[in-house]
């Protein structure tokens, strides 16, 4: 049995689709693309697909991942093209590789995020970033299945900076956030920013995950989680 690792993007209006919505669309696309899916055993067999650290509903992403097992050897590039054509616009398959040994989830250590603040001055965002980074802690509370929980967002933020946007009425926040338990989501950090700095944009920011993967210590950036798979395929 061959296992494939798939990188895809969630763009435009499809950023409002949940992991469950994507799962339904994916299963239909896999059938249309005639991918020889492997199924679980038992009375209710289902495709052997596993999803890895999906972005929150409402955020766009250029770096979502899932794994799928197939019953016969396939060409990864051909699967990418067929699956991309079968999925709706806005769910775009970027890369398909054959899985090498090692768990993909273990490589997803951090995410790089871009947040576009509309109708916000760059100077205001820069001041907010400075105040947040100077804070020892930046706690928020969120409801979990087990009840309300308060946790710190500051310790998960590896880097954070403000930058000018092409539109002078906007400002851009870029940050690398370590994957923790409980997970610190972009909306948690935005909530903490409001609490610490009173930053209150008049319209909701647009959030996009640019990358997720191993944390690169030398640059505090995020490396390609599929690099080991591609290296094994080329050896």
Domain around 164: 110-213
65: CATH: 3.30.70.580
Structural domain includes residue 227:
no
Banded pLDDT at 1 (limits 50, 70, 90): confident
Structural domain total, the chain: 2
Task: Give the end of a domain, one of 106, 127, 158.
Answer: 106
Same domain, 119 and 101: no
Structural domain includes residue 134:
yes
pLDDT for the residue 123: 95
Same domain, 187 and 130: yes
Structural domain includes residue 147:
yes
Q: For 114-160, how does the pLDDT look when each residue is reduced to its tens digit (9 = 90+)? A: 999 999 999 999 999 999 999 999 999 999 889 999 999 999 999 99
Instruction: Please report where in the chains the tokens 């494939």 appear, as a residue.
Output: 4
Around 153, how many Cα atoms within 13 Å sit in the side-chain half-sphere? 26
Same domain, 153 and 93: no
Banded pLDDT at 166 (limits 50, 70, 90): very high
Contact 74, 2 (CB under 8 A): yes
pLDDT for the residue 19: 84
Task: Give the end of a domain, one of 106, 131, 146.
Answer: 106
Q: For 35-81, how does the pLDDT look when each residue is reduced to its tens digit (9 = 90+)? A: 999 998 888 888 999 999 999 999 999 999 999 999 999 999 999 99
Structural domain includes residue 36:
yes
Contacts of 18 (CB under 8 A, 6+ apart): 57
Q: For 97-127, how does the pLDDT look when each residue is reduced to its tens digit (9 = 90+)? A: 999 999 999 999 999 999 999 999 999 999 9
The mean per-residue pLDDT over the stretch 168-195 comes to 95
pLDDT for the residue 216: 83
Nearest by Cα to 48 from 32, 36, 60, 59: 36
Nearest by Cα to 225 from 100, 78, 58: 100
Structural domain includes residue 232:
no
Same domain, 15 and 63: yes
Structural domain includes residue 53:
yes
Same domain, 74 and 146: no
Structural domain includes residue 24:
yes
Same domain, 45 and 129: no
Same domain, 151 and 194: yes
**Higher-confidence position of 161 and 218:** 161
Give the whole-angstrom CA distance, residue 57 versus residue 50: 18
Whether 163 has a pLDDT exceeding 90, the answer reads: yes
Same domain, 81 and 102: yes
3-state secondary structure of 14: helix
Same domain, 122 and 153: yes
Same domain, 61 and 155: no
Whether 18 has a pLDDT exceeding 90, the answer reads: no
Same domain, 130 and 81: no
Same domain, 102 and 114: no
């Amino acid at each position: 049995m061959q296992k494939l690792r798939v990188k895809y993007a969630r763009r435009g209006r499809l950023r409002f689709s949940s992991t469950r919505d994507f799962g339904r669309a994916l299963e239909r696309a896999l059938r249309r693309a005639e991918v020889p899916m492997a199924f679980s055993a038992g009375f209710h067999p289902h495709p052997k697909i596993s999803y890895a650290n999906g972005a929150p509903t409402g955020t766009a992403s250029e770096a979502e991942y899932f794994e799928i097992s197939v019953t016969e050897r396939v060409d990864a590039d051909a699967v990418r093209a067929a699956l991309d054509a079968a999925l709706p616009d806005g769910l775009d398959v970027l890369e398909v590789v054959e899985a090498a040994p090692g768990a993909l989830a273990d490589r997803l250590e951090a995410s790089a995020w871009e947040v576009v603040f509309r109708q916000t001055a760059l100077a205001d965002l820069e001041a907010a970033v400075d105040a947040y980074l100077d804070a020892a802690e930046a706690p928020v509370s969120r409801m979990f299945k087990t009840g309300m929980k308060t946790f710190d967002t500051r310790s998960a933020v590896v880097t954070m900076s403000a930058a000018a946007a092409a539109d002078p009425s906007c400002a851009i926040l870029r940050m690398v956030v370590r994957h923790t338990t409980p997970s610190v989501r972009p909306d948690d950090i935005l909530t903490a920013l409001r609490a610490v700095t009173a930053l209150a944009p008049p319209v909701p920011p647009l959030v996009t995950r640019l990358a997720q993967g191993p944390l690169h210590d030398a640059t505090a950036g995020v490396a390609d989680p599929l690099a080991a798979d591609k290296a094994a395929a080329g050896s």
